Amino acid sequence: MKKTQLVLDVAGVLITNFSPAFWHDTTREDGITFGELKLLFATEIRKPLWTGQMSEEAFWNWLAGYCPVEPKELKTILFNNLHTMPAFDLVPEWSVQTDIHLLSNHRSEWLQMLLDPIRPYLASVTISSDEGCCKPDLPIYHIVASKLDEGKSTIYVDDQAKNLEVC
């Protein structure tokens, strides 16, 4: 029997995203504000970072250019703010009835260790930095679709509505 295909976003569904705590922890009272930094991220580097066009080191240097924090400390702040969410613990149970595929705009080097406990329950993992494209652009959905079991129902879960519009 073919299973339903369940495609889950990672950041914001299974693992915390760049949380407000991350942005607040990287900014200081005497520097750029939380809102300004998030806007700069969205307009200047979001797509290059998520598609792998920008290296991880370049991201830390970019961020350190706006924040009075050393790049090494910024990485520590990020990892201190990445935590599993309640759905993460349900993946083994869900995998009994569904084939679980992950799709995320993220950096694979930031997710690999966090995903290791559920990797045996996953049919596929698609991370934008490895693929050279990111949501909501159509090519990344084609990549995921090529990994799905054809002819079965597919459920897609994402925490951002803009990523559902193309589906």
Q: Give me the pLDDT at residue 70, please.
A: 83
- Give pLDDT tens digits for 62-83: 998 888 788 888 889 898 889 9
- Give pLDDT tens digits for 1-18: 578 999 999 999 999 987
Domain ranges of the chain: 4-15+83-163, 20-80
Residue 98 pairs in a beta bridge with 4
Q: Which CATH architecture has domain 4-15+83-163?
A: 3-Layer(aba) Sandwich (3.40)
